Amino acid sequence: MLSAQVEAWNKGSIEGFMKGYWDNDSLLFIGAKGPRYGYKVALNRYKEAYPDTAQMGRLISTVTHMQKLSREYYFVVGKWDLKRSVGDIGGSYTLLLKKIDGEWVIVCDHSS
């Protein structure tokens, strides 16, 4: 799922990237502006921050730690980098993944 997100991002598809997230009002995304809830809120935040492929750039995501918490949950730590013509940026993330209806989805994302 995480690899599919990177692939979708690098094709310029925020909607494809978002398929890795839980499509629910309880999805928690924590960024520079604090916690925000909801799939649509997260989708709109990404569209606002990355309105075109120049802003999106090429995503490199590196998982540095993954821990199985139970049969239904994983905790993931990693770093992200965007290589962009408008200037490179990057940071770190922690994710809580949950298996829902047989598929792994991100239910909490803290990115900085």
Supply the pLDDT for residue 91. 97
Cα 48 to Cα 56, 57, 74, 97, 101: the distances in Å are 11, 15, 29, 24, 30
Residue numbers in the chain where pLDDT is lower than 50: none
Query: Which amino acid belongs to residue 83?
Result: K
Supply the pLDDT for residue 33. 87
Yes or no: say if 61 and 2 are a contact pair by the CB < 8 Å rule. Answer: yes
pTM comes to 0.95
Query: What strands, in cross-sheet order, belong to the sheet with 103-111?
Result: 34-37, 28-31, 103-111, 89-100, 73-83, 58-68
State the Cα–Cα distance between residues 44 and 12, nearest whole angstrom. 15
* Paired strand residues for 76: 66, 95
